[in-house]
Structure 1
Amino acid sequence: MSKAPIIQLMDTHAGGDVSRIVTGGIAPLPGDTVRAQMEYLRDQADGLRRLLLEEPYGIPEMSVDLLVPPTDPKAAAGYIIMEVMGYPIYSGSNTLCTATAVLESGIVPKQEGHQTFLLESPAGLVQIDAEVRDDVVESITCEGLPSYIDTYRAKVHVPGLGDVDYSIAYSGGFYALVDAQELGFELNLAEERRLAETAHAIVEAIRAQNNYTHYSLGDVGPLPFLHFMGPVEQAAPGHYRSRSATYVHPGVICRSTTGTGTSARLALMNYEGRIQPGDQLETVSLRKTSFVGKFTSVETQGDYSVVKNTITGKSYVIAKSDIVVNCEDPMVECGDLMVVLAG
């Protein structure tokens, strides 16, 4: 065991979604950008993602964020996001967790009060605004990706459900947005399994019928996400609140409402004329955790009205550990994993 490779982790969560931050044990990756390094992992060394999200080391409901040296000198650190669906180029909850880990590990020294720094995601540079009080990271605000509505109120036939109305948003990945009440959901924790089964059927039906292309990124793969929308209520002037649940294909209902899910909702509310720049939407999960999305501005890109936004939430450090990679264990598939392990 003394010769077995070791991977250092800091486990965190934001809104209930656990992000495993890989802080050490991985060799330098090829690629002159964080995006290129992500593509190398995706295409040549997917074993790291599988190791940390599958038994015996993890479960699919987790995410993994690999810290890498930034390729842009303005950034404090780079990070690559790994989930059950693969390698999203951006994630709000993972960014909240990574920013907290960067502060708690000392990569960026904590400063009392407000501080700002940049991280480099596969989608590019991300501004981080942190609030620190009594040496505790109380909140993180990160940029959401520019978000827009691709398809509004389309219809798909879903076996066992009938015709389902949905809209498609892009907010770092393509999202199917569906009305929870129209599908008979109140969005409480007891419905979690049925929400996952329903979302799986809807995503499969939409995938069989359509593929979506980003206006500048091109083909970003098959539809990976679905967001159940509860009723929107006005909690205060310029502040809205809605119960919500995000599904990741295949089979996972996120513990949080997710940052990209919240950004997708802001894009829809702008499309419907229900929100103005400066307004906020608080999305509340099945577990009553929440993120706050702020609609900061809007611009036109080709045929699309693109919403710029930020996401605010809090992340907690829940564990620091070393993973011992036992390749002789029949439950562990080392394979392409070995090419990225240090030493």
Structure 2
Amino acid sequence: MTQELSFQIIDTHAGGDVSRIVVSGINALPGETVRDQMEYLRDDADGLRTLLLEEPYGIPEMSVDLVVPPTDPQAQAGYIIMEVMGYPIYSGSNTICTATALLESGMIPKYEGRQQFVLESPAGLVQIEANVENGVVETITCEGLPSYIDTYRATIHVPLIGDVTYSVAYSGGFYALVDATELGFELTRDEESRLAHCAQAIVEAILQERGFSHYSLGDVGPLPFLHFMGPVEQIAGDHYRSRSATYVHPGVICRSTTGTGTSARMALMHHEGRMQPGDRLETVSLRGSSFVGSFTRVSKGGPHDVVENTITGKSYVLARSQIVVNPDDPLVDSSQLRHILTSHVPRG
């Protein structure tokens, strides 16, 4: 007799990016903060991430969010973000998806109209505002991480592409920001594969040349992301719109524009004097989905002007299901997973 292992998930998407929200079936993780628990998962239980992002259960374009009890009394729930490149400390789309799943599942009570609550991410507390209409979560507005420009218009030679001008922002991870038009892109869906190959080449060239360090957090890992920027259109006095595309991993262009990518773009526009507190930036993806970033205020972080911001988007529930893991399945490696699962179903 073998032991099937199981846990419960809610599949969601925001702007086309699928986030699998693990809501039960996982043991309490060690750690005094959600950041500590994230580091435990990363170092001692990475099997949950790899199981849900690899065949036969998932694909690399997905994300995973594990709901955990909060360690800060101000928060109603905690969550840990897992993506194909590892464990980012923050993500706008994952936050929007997790907040929606918590409300739609009843894990956080849902009220008609606007309601506010707090989640605890590995980056710290996140203020959430949900807009509920006729019992449906229509939008989630979440805090973006304070964002700043680390490098402005540097140039690097990229094999097979040539000299590329780029800026680097921090918005929860380090982002290379490049002008899509300068590289010959119009940011249409048929360009997705070429965008991914181009971004990978640029990121690899930057990584070979230099590293980056946050002014207060220090080493937060190598630069993983690249954001293609389309032309900016002014819709109203305080409302801007731009087509965008975000690269996160070899072969992977996000289906949404990403929250952290939108925050990074706002930091650059402020650095260039093109955006001020009170302004909004709507970033539009290759698939036509969008997030709206709101520039709330400027603060000082070390030597940097730091853009504080919020991200607004909508998430949809796709499925509520139970994942069953059979340890005898030759395509599944549960060795880094079994010790954190609480549910065991005997099989004859």
For the aligned pair, the TM-score class normalised by the smaller chain equals over 0.9
Q: State yes or no: 1:170 paired with 2:170.
A: yes
Partner of residue 36, structure 2: 36
Distance 1:120 1:57 in 2: 27
Q: State yes or no: 1:196 paired with 2:192.
A: no
Distance 1:233 1:133 in 2: 30
* Stretches of 4+ aligned residues off by more than 6 angstroms: none
> SS of the counterpart of 1:107?
coil
Is the contact between residue 262 and residue 291 of structure 2 (CA under 8 Å) also seen in structure 1? yes
Partner of residue 134, structure 1: 134
> SS of the counterpart of 1:214?
coil
Aligned residues: 343
Distance 1:197 1:130 in 2: 37
Q: State yes or no: 1:57 paired with 2:57.
A: yes
> SS of the counterpart of 2:64?
strand
Distance 1:241 1:225 in 2: 21
Once the 2 structures are TM-superposed, how far is the Cα of residue 236 of structure 1 from its aligned partner? 1.0
User: Which letter does structure 1 place at the counterpart of 2:248?
Assistant: V
Q: What TM-score does the superposition give when structure 1 sets the normalisation length?
A: 0.99
Distance 1:39 1:210 in 2: 25
Is the contact between residue 3 and residue 326 of structure 2 (CA under 8 Å) also seen in structure 1? no
Deviations 1:232-285 (A, max 9, x none): 010111000000000002321000000000000000000000011000000000
Partner of residue 70, structure 2: 70
Once the 2 structures are TM-superposed, how far is the Cα of residue 98 of structure 1 from its aligned partner? 0.4
Structure 1 segment 173-322 matched on structure 2, within 5 A: 173-322=173-322
User: Which letter does structure 1 place at the counterpart of 2:16?
Assistant: G
Can you give the 5+ residue segments of structure 2 that lack an aligned partner in the other structure? 344-348
Partner of residue 83, structure 1: 83
> SS of the counterpart of 2:4?
coil
Partner of residue 20, structure 1: 20
RMSD: 0.9
Partner of residue 98, structure 1: 98
Partner of residue 161, structure 1: 161
Aligned sequence identity (%):
74
Distance 1:223 1:339 in 2: 32
Deviations 1:123-144 (A, max 9, x none): 0000000000100001000000
Distance 1:24 1:300 in 2: 40
Distance 1:220 1:237 in 2: 36
User: Which letter does structure 2 place at the counterpart of 1:206?
Assistant: I
Distance 1:327 1:231 in 2: 51
Deviations 1:124-170 (A, max 9, x none): 00000000010000100000000000000001111100111000000
Is the contact between residue 23 and residue 66 of structure 2 (CA under 8 Å) also seen in structure 1? yes
Distance 1:199 1:159 in 2: 12
Distance 1:249 1:97 in 2: 20
Is the contact between residue 148 and residue 304 of structure 1 (CA under 8 Å) also seen in structure 2? yes
User: Which letter does structure 1 place at the counterpart of 2:17?
Assistant: D
Distance 2:29 2:276 in 1: 43
Is the contact between residue 279 and residue 295 of structure 1 (CA under 8 Å) also seen in structure 2? yes
> SS of the counterpart of 1:125?
strand
User: Which letter does structure 1 place at the counterpart of 2:327?
Assistant: C
Moved more, 241-250 or 279-288: 241-250
Is the contact between residue 5 and residue 25 of structure 1 (CA under 8 Å) also seen in structure 2? no
